[in-house]
Structure 1
Amino acid sequence: MTDVAKKVQDYKDSLKQKAEHLIIKGFPEKIVKLNELLETPNFHNRELNDVHQDLNIPIPPPSAVSSEPNAKRQRLDSSEASSNSTAIIEGTKVYVLPNGTVPCNKPLSDLIHLVKPHIRELVEDSNLLKMWISFMIPKIEDGNNFGVSIQEDTLAEIQSVESEAAAFFDQISRYFISRAKIVSKVAKYPHIDDYRRAVRELDEKEYLSLWLVMCEIRNRYCSLHDIVIKNLEKIKKPRSSNAESLY
Structure 2
Amino acid sequence: MFTNMPSKVQKYDTAIQNVEQLITKCYPEKIVELNELLGMPMFKPRDLEELRQELCIPVLPPVLAENHCDGCIDDQPQSKRALTDVIVAGCPAVTCSPVPCNKTVCEMIKVVQTIVRTLIKQANFLNMWITVLTIQSGSAICASIQEDINDEFKKIELNAIDCFKMISEYFAVRDKTLALVAKYPHAEEHRKAVVEIDEKTCLSLTKVVCDVRNNYSLLIDVATKNWIKLKSSFNANTYS
Q: TM-score range by the shorter chain?
A: 0.7 to 0.9
Q: 1:171 to 1:235 in 2, by over 3 A?
A: farther
Which residue of the partner structure matches residue 112 of structure 1? 109
State the SS of the aligned residue for 1:53.
coil
* Number of corresponding residues: 224
Matched, 1:32 2:32: yes
Give the direction of change, closer, same or farther, for the CA distance of 1:87–1:13 in structure 2 (3 Å limit): farther
Say if 1:147 and 1:237, in contact at 8 Å, map to a contact too. no
How far apart in 1 are the matches of 2:39 and 2:189? Answer: 34
2:92 to 85, 91, 94: 94
User: Deviation digits for residues 22-44 of structure 1, max 9, x if unmatched?
Assistant: 22101111101111111122222
- The residue aligned with 1:215 is 210
For 1:64, what is the secondary structure of its paired residue?
strand
Matched, 1:162 2:162: no
Structure 2 vs 1, CA of residues 240 and 26 (structure 1 numbering), >3 Å: closer, same or farther? closer
CA–CA distance in structure 1, aligned partners of residues 15 and 103 of structure 2: 39
Structure 1's unaligned 5+ residue stretches are: 1-8, 243-247
d(CA) in 2 for partners of 1:208 and 1:96? 32
Once residues 115 and 191 of structure 2 are traced to their aligned partners in structure 1, the CA distance between those partners, rounded to angstroms, is 32
148-157 or 52-61, larger mean C-alpha shift: 148-157
Q: Within 1, Cα distance between the matches of 2:143 and 2:152?
A: 14
The 2-side partners of 1:62 and 1:10 are apart by 80
Q: Report the CA distance between 1:178 and its aligned residue.
A: 0.8
Q: Please name the residue that 1:42 is paired with.
A: 42
Cα 1:43–1:67 shift into 2, 3 Å: same
Give how far 1:10 is off: 8.8
Identify if the C-alpha distance between structure 1 residues 126 and 87 changes in structure 2 by more than 3 Å, giving closer, same or farther.
same
1:194 and 2:189 aligned: yes
Question: How many percent of aligned residue pairs carry the same amino acid?
Answer: 39
> 2:79 is paired with a residue of what secondary structure?
coil
For the pair 1:233 / 2:233, whether they are aligned, the reply is: no
**TM-score normalised to the size of structure 1?**
0.77
* Rounded Cα–Cα distance in structure 1 between residues aligned with 2:141 and 2:26: 28
What TM-score, normalized by structure 2, do the two folds share?
A: 0.79
When residues 133 and 74 of structure 1 are mapped into structure 2, their CA distance, relative to the original with a 3 A threshold, is farther
Do the aligned partners of residues 132 and 140 (structure 1) sit closer, same or farther apart at CA in structure 2, a change above 3 Å counting? closer
Alpha-carbon RMSD across the aligned residues, in angstroms, is 3.5
Query: In the alignment, is residue 126 of structure 1 matched against residue 118 of structure 2?
Result: no
* Structure 1 counterpart of 2:73: none
Gaps of 5+ in 2: 1-8, 69-76
Instruction: Report SS of the residue matched to 1:231.
Output: helix
Q: Distance in 2 between matches of 1:170 and 1:164?
A: 10
The aligned residue for residue 22 of structure 1 is 22
Do the aligned residues in 1 keep the contact of 2:48 with 2:199 (CA within 8 Å)? yes
**What is the DSSP-based 3-state SS (H/G/I as helix, E as strand, rest coil) of the residue aligned with 2:191?**
helix
After TM superposition, the structure 1 stretch with the greater mean CA deviation from structure 2, 19-28 or 103-112, is 19-28
Alignment correspondent of 1:4: none
Give me the whole-angstrom Cα distance separating, in 2, the residues matched to 1:65 and 1:206.
Answer: 42
Aligned to 1:172: 167
The yes-or-no answer on 1:203 pairing with 2:203 is no
Paired residues of 1:55 and 1:103 also in contact (CA < 8 A) = yes
